[in-house]
Amino acid sequence: MKKHTLSTRIWHWLNLVCVAILFMSGLNISNGHRRLYWGDWGFAPEHAWLEVPRFPGWMTIPDYYSLAQARDWHNLTAWPFALGLLFMWGAMLANRHFKRDLVTSREEWRWSAIKDDVIEHLKLNFEHGDGKYNFLQKLAYGLVLGVFLPMMVFTGMAMSPGIEPAMPWLVDILGGRQSARSLHFIFAFLTFGFFVVHIALVLLSGPAAQIYDMITGGVLDEPDPETPQESEGETT
């Protein structure tokens, strides 16, 4: 069996490109108005809950301030990003990757199990655990796939003036367009934080092998036939 299915590999690299463009063009858009608010409106400094820094050109797309071009990049890339995420969820449910590899068990949420998992990560032992992913990996991937990236899509939709007449409930659920903008910014940086940690762990665990597996699919390690395996609550 392949360690990574074709659908996972396609989405992984497509999503990497999309997130990079969205994040860098979003920083350019942020430079146009650097204050964040809650509710339906806000403009004055005293209404803001946060004023973000101005981001340099090397971090933005394009590499100079242009709100119009940054929005064009952002809106164009949002389509493959959102459709790719929808495709990934459909594939994960169809091939049972979500249920088999990402769903956590009750035992994994025990404090002793979480503590052991953290200790193994601190030892740079990332291959521990019975399944394909250990608990912290499942938790991280679950948050990104189930919360961070979908919220990027929904908050982005709520920020669009054209969506409010058609889907006013979406704006209301998020607390208003300014709240949606603040949440969009928060989830963008949470996603960036995951990206930084993810890259760091890949570098620590052997980047050449990890990248090769994500390109070719790799080969899933077969369990030792002489080692007792547990299945459906019974030991075989």
Q: Is residue 147 part of a domain?
A: yes
Q: Is residue 232 part of a domain?
A: no
Q: Is residue 187 part of a domain?
A: yes
Residue range 168-225, pLDDT digits in tens: 899 999 999 999 999 999 999 999 999 999 999 888 888 888 888 899 987 776 554 4
Number of domains, the chain: 1
For 230, list phi and psi in degrees, rounded to 5: -95, 135
From CA 25, how far away is CA 96, in angstroms rounded?
A: 35
- Stated length of the chain: 236
From CA 188, how far away is CA 196, in angstroms rounded?
A: 13
Q: Is residue 63 part of a domain?
A: yes
Residue 139 in tokens? 């938790």
Residue range 61-81, pLDDT digits in tens: 999 999 999 999 999 999 999
Among 178, 208, 149, residue whose Cα is nearest residue 12: 149
Domain enclosing residue 147, as ranges: 6-220
CATH of the domain at 39: 1.20.950.20
Among 125, 143, 122, residue whose Cα is nearest residue 134: 125
Q: Is residue 234 part of a domain?
A: no
Q: Is residue 227 part of a domain?
A: no
